[in-house]
Structure 1
Amino acid sequence: MKTIIFACIVSVALAAPQFQDPIAITRDERVDNGDGTFSYVFEADNGITAQAAGVQGSQGQSNIEGSYSYPLSDGSGFVEVRYVADENGFRAESPFLPTPHPTPAHVIELLRIAEEQRAAGITFEK
């Protein structure tokens, strides 16, 4: 019975969350003008950074332009993502973001043929 109790105590101790050292915030600047315009800059001592600025958009929204970066897990560099969010949606740019596969040449040719047929007034019944 003592072995079972000891095993339970050990398993509870091993299952306890493992805490990391706290990460210090080295810079945190925020400005909110209350009218949809704002800016912020954030930096942590582990290399994580973020910055953005917002202005009033044409449809009542805040248009935002910003970036964020964080260190790669192997320590070889940083991932940086730049983005814009406005009337045209959210658009992010970074060499680390996945991209769609290129359209195969035969599909491009088929699309060209279909466009020529549409221009010539050719239609197909369903």
Structure 2
Amino acid sequence: MKFLVFLAALIGLAFGQFGNYRPTFRQTGREKDSIILKSNFDLGPNGNYQYGYETENGITGQESGFPRNLGGFPPAVAETAQGTFSWTSPEGQYISIGYTADENGYHPVGDALPTPPPIPLAILRSIEYNKAKAAQRGFNNF
């Protein structure tokens, strides 16, 4: 038992003063004390909403959304949203990301996002060949 108390005390010392451990993040003066310049939020009675914000250090964002009836029984409802957010990177580059989100997921778009390399022509031909063979055998959902 004494060993467990000693071990707990040792771990506590390693992480600061017994539970007061806080990770430190590198903050410059710009991020540390930024003031919100603009902020709005509107919620409609039918579930439509929109919000936006702008901070002193150039971070902006806006989004609008609404519930969409997908039909069926019982009726299925999907929240649909679209928006943008932007900031200036530490290197001074303006970054802007637009997105949509619905029952099919989150879909961001922006020049700063990584893009996959193009699919090689041989792989594309292989995919088309496999689709054709599957169709010949009656597998149309390939």
TM-score scaled by length of structure 1: 0.72
Report the 3-state secondary structure (helix = DSSP H, G, I; strand = E; otherwise coil) of the residue aligned with 2:101: strand
Q: How many residues align?
A: 107
1:56 aligned partner: 67
Any unmatched runs of 5+ in structure 2? Answer: 1-22, 70-75
Return the match for 1:103 from 119, 127, 136: 119
Return the match for 1:71 from 88, 96, 111: 88
* TM superposition shift of 1:98: 1.3
Distance (Å, rounded) in 1 between the aligned partners of 2:33 and 2:129: 61
1:42 aligned partner: 53
Distance (Å, rounded) in 2 between the aligned partners of 1:55 and 1:118: 40
Distance (Å, rounded) in 2 between the aligned partners of 1:54 and 1:114: 40
Match for 1:121: what amino acid?
R
Q: How far does the alpha carbon of each residue in 1:74-108 deviate from its partner, in whole angstroms, 9 at most, with x for none? A: 11x31101111112221111011112222111111
2:101 aligned partner: 85
The sequence identity of aligned pairs, in percent, is: 24
* TM superposition shift of 1:34: 4.9
Tell me how large the CA RMSD over aligned residues is.
2.5
TM-score scaled by length of structure 2: 0.65
Structure having greater relative contact order (Cα 8 Å, sep ≥ 6):
1
Any unmatched runs of 5+ in structure 1? Answer: 1-15
Q: How far does the alpha carbon of each residue in 1:29-77 deviate from its partner, in whole angstroms, 9 at most, with x for none? A: 11122532111110001010000111122233321111000101111x3
